[in-house]
Amino acid sequence: MVHENSLLQMTEQLLECVEISDSRFKKVKESGEKGDFYNEVKPFADNVKSINDRWKEEALEWIGIHKPRNLYPQQIESAAEHIEMVSIQAFFPETSKTRFINYVNSAVYVLNQLIKLVGEEKKGT
């Protein structure tokens, strides 16, 4: 059973994580210094991964139940992959800026779309 409140909360947490990754990436690009793997990269990436894995499962289940017209399981799968990638790549200056930005934008779009659809569904019940 999917709990919309829990799904919304995780979606908002992931949006925040993506924003943190984005601002971290900008700092790393400016300074050229890599993040410390054990003190920064791993703890952050592990936290994002634990939220992301639960989110993906619940989001896929929600889509299976509600079958929204403009959000598909493949988009959830891709967003989850992109979120995981940016949470790690944000700490490395050699990361491609264009690819990073594309991953961020793609993930943010899907997360915002899900928030909108779940919100509409909650109003309708």
Q: What is the per-residue pLDDT across 17-75, written as a single tens digit (0 to 9) for each?
A: 999 999 999 999 999 999 999 999 999 999 999 999 999 999 999 999 999 999 999 99
What is the per-residue pLDDT for 22?
Answer: 98
Please report, in angstroms and rounded to a whole number, the separation of the first and last CA atoms in the chain.
Answer: 16
Report pLDDT digits (tens) over 86-99. 999 999 999 999 99
Residues 48 and 121: their CA atoms lie apart, in Å, by: 26
Section 103-115 average pLDDT: 98
Other CB atoms within 10 A of residue 30 CB: 9
pTM above 0.75, yes or no: yes
